[in-house]
Structures are given as C-alpha cells and as structure tokens.
Structure 1
C-alpha cells in the first residue's frame, strides 16, 4: 500500500492503534497457568470490540485470532491447550483489518523469572527492530534495513532467521514489496518509495538461522534449535523517515 491521501493515513493509523492496543492488552494479561487459547480469546475480544477482523483468520484460514508462539516455537504458533509457564518466552503477533486496511505488529514477552541471557536477547531484539526502522525513508534502499540490522546482530554475537522477512502491508496482510530482508542481502536492489507501508520485523536469535515448519502445518521452529525473539511495527516511509502507526493509544 502507498499512502496517497489523509483518508488512507487515518484508516491505517486507526487499525494500527487497534492492533497495538490488542498486543499490549494481551501482554498485560499473560499469567503462568493460562493457556494460549485463553490468551488468544482476550485478543479476539479486543479486536471485535473495535470492529476489526483477524487477518490470519480471514486471509489464510489460520486457526486462531492471533499467533502465539512459546519458547521453541518462533512464529505462527496456534492458540490451544498449551499452558504458559514461569520463565517462558511468549511471542504474540497481532494483525487485523478494518474497513479494508491492514496493520501488523508483534513482540516477545518474558514471563518472570527469565534468565539474564534471554532478558538481554529481548532487549536487543527490540533494539534490532528500532535500528531497522531508522533506515526507512522515501527513496532509501530497502537493503539498508537488513544491512543495519545485520551489523548490529554481528556486533552483539547474534544470528538472524533468514527466511522470515518483512513485507508490504495495507490493502492486504502481505503485499508488495514482499520478502524484505531483515538480514544483509547483496542482491536487494529495490528502493523505498514515498508513502510505502511496510513492516519491520527482524527475528534475532542466539544461534538460529532458518525457520522450519512443524507437523501442524503452521508453527515454525528454529534451525538450529536456539532461542529467537521477534519485534514488529508497521511503518510508513516519509521524506523525513519512518512514521510508526502501530502505537497504542
């Protein structure tokens, strides 16, 4: 999606606020002993009260309103009977649409007590996303996002999952430019156009390189097996940089 007028921008900001508030509401509700289905139902209720529809359900027939991934699950985890435990890493990905406009956000949350290396991984995962966002702007190279994140990851001794990319969003959940690398890529030659709407969502890991699909056909796991965190915002490219629209409010 490319923002062409204020109506487009206001619609995007509205659904961006909704998914951001839903993410934060779910995060605040996390408690040891609850199931991921119970957590998902909280998210579903928040979306429905705002007149929004779950994008994974409507776009891909995903069996849940949100994606909730625990520990060894790194993305697209199906809400169900799994019980959240103390010390878990819980990744929540919320994407939804309203009035035909989509936004996408996500974050990894710690259930105390969390070991210090995982605590640092979470803080650095959020930092990696912020570094990627700082590279977004009109007429800037798309490759700049992954190059900057890659430098940060290398300096800190982390790896990046290299087959889960950022993407365009707006009129649908995934649209042009699809497969925006959040890792260094010499072959990426595209440029960011003014008004372009995209996600920035690196998957930072302590050794993982690839995501592989599990037996359920949805849940993704790290290869090699290693802790992974993901943080994601939907942004608009402007002449002065990135406008983040997935902000709670």
Structure 2
C-alpha cells in the first residue's frame, strides 16, 4: 500500500492503533497457568469490539484470531491447550483489518523469572527492530534495513532467521514488496518509495538460522534449535523517516 491521501493515513492509523492496543492488552493478561487459547480469546474480543477482523483467520483460515508462539515455537503458533508457564517466552503476533485496511504488529514477552541471557535477547530483539525502522524513509535503499540489523546482530553475537522476512502491508496482509530481508543481502537494489507501508520484523536468535514448519502445518521452529524473539511494527515511509502506526492509544 502507498499512502496517497489523509483518508488512507487515517484508516491505517486506526487499524494500527487497534492491533497495538490488542497486543498490549494480551500482554498484560498473560499469567502462568492460562492456556494460549484463553489468551487468544482476549485478543479476539478486543478486535471484535473495535470492528476489526483477524487477518490470518480471514486471509489464510488460520485456526485462531492471533498467533501465539511459546519458547521453541518461533512464529505462527496455533492457540490451543498449551499452558503458559513461568520462565516462558511468549510471542504474540496480531494482524487485522478494518474497512479494507490492514496492519500488523508483534512482540515477545517474558514470563518471570526469565534467565538473564533470554532477558538480554528480548531487549536486543526490540533494539534490532528499532534499528531497522531507523533505515526507513522515502527514496532510501530497501537493503539498508537488513544491512543495519545484520551489523547489530553480528556485533552482539546473534544470528537472524533468514527465511522470515518483513513485507508490504495495507490493502492486504502481505503485498508488494512481499519479501523485505531483515538480514544483509547482496544485489538488493530496490528503493523505498514515498508513502510505502511496510512492516519491520527481525527474528533475532541465539543460534537459529532458518524457520521450519511443524507437523500441524502452521507452527514454525528454529533450525538449529535456539531461542528466537520477534518484534514488529507497521510503518509508513515519509521524507523525514519512518512513521510508526502500530502504537497504542
């Protein structure tokens, strides 16, 4: 999606606020002993209250309103009977649409007590996303996102999952540019156009390189097996940099 007028921007900010509030509300509700299905139900109720529709459910018939991934699950986890425990890493991905406009956000949360290396991984995962967002702007190189995140990950001794990319969003959940690497890629010559709507969502890991699909056909796991965190915002490329639209309010 490319923002062409104030109506487009207003619609994007509205759904951005909704998914951000839903993510925040779900995060606050996390408690040891609850199931991921119970947590998903909270997200569904928040989306429906705002007149929004779950994007993965509507677009891909995903079996849940949100994606909730625990520990070894790194993305696309199906809400179900799994019980959240103390010490878990819980990744929540919320994407939804309203009036034909989509936004996408996500984050990894710690259920105390979490070991210090994982606590640091979470802080650095959020920092990696922020570094990627700082590279977004009108007529800037698309490769700048992955190059900057890659430098940060290398300096800190992390790896990046290299088959889960950022993407364009707006008129649909995934649209042009459908593959935006959050790792360095040689030969990437595309540039970011003014008004382009995209996600920035690096998957930072302590050794993982690839995401592989599990037996349920949805849940993704790290190869090699290693802790992974993901943080995601939807942003608009402007002449003065990135405008983040997935902020609670």
TM-score between the two structures when normalised by the length of structure 1: 1.00
- Tell me how large the CA RMSD over aligned residues is: 0.2
- The CA distance in 1 between the partners of 2:24 and 2:149, in whole Å, is 25
**1:35-69 deviation line (CA, Å, top 9, x unaligned):** 00000000000000000000000000000000000
Secondary structure of residue in 2 paired with 1:162: coil
Report how far residue 188 of structure 1 moved.
Answer: 1.2
Q: Hey, what does 2:125 align to over in structure 1? A: 125
Report how far residue 187 of structure 1 moved.
Answer: 2.2
**1:130-164 deviation line (CA, Å, top 9, x unaligned):** 00000000000000000000000000000000000
Alignment: residue pair count: 249
**1:102-127 deviation line (CA, Å, top 9, x unaligned):** 00000000000000000000000000
- The CA distance in 2 between the partners of 1:88 and 1:212, in whole Å, is 21
**1:218-239 deviation line (CA, Å, top 9, x unaligned):** 0000000000000000000000
Secondary structure of residue in 2 paired with 1:24: helix
**1:184-224 deviation line (CA, Å, top 9, x unaligned):** 00121110000000000000000000000000000000000
Secondary structure of residue in 2 paired with 1:164: coil
- The CA distance in 1 between the partners of 2:107 and 2:126, in whole Å, is 8
In the TM superposition, structure 1's runs of 4+ consecutive aligned residues that sit over 3 Å from their partners are none
Which runs of 5 or more residues in structure 1 are unaligned? none
- The CA distance in 1 between the partners of 2:59 and 2:178, in whole Å, is 16
- The CA distance in 1 between the partners of 2:121 and 2:45, in whole Å, is 31
**1:9-36 deviation line (CA, Å, top 9, x unaligned):** 0000000000000000000000000000
Secondary structure of residue in 2 paired with 1:150: helix
- The CA distance in 2 between the partners of 1:82 and 1:189, in whole Å, is 43
Q: Hey, what does 1:110 align to over in structure 2? A: 110
- The CA distance in 1 between the partners of 2:107 and 2:188, in whole Å, is 26
Which runs of 5 or more residues in structure 2 are unaligned? none
Secondary structure of residue in 1 paired with 2:95: strand
Q: Are residues 1:2 and 2:5 paired?
A: no
TM-score between the two structures when normalised by the length of structure 2: 1.00
Q: Hey, what does 1:198 align to over in structure 2? A: 198
Judge which range, 179-188 or 100-109, deviates more: 179-188
Secondary structure of residue in 2 paired with 1:95: strand
- The CA distance in 2 between the partners of 1:104 and 1:80, in whole Å, is 22
**1:158-187 deviation line (CA, Å, top 9, x unaligned):** 000000000000000000001100000012
Secondary structure of residue in 1 paired with 2:189: coil
- The CA distance in 1 between the partners of 2:112 and 2:141, in whole Å, is 39
Q: Hey, what does 1:90 align to over in structure 2? A: 90
Report how far residue 92 of structure 1 moved.
Answer: 0.0
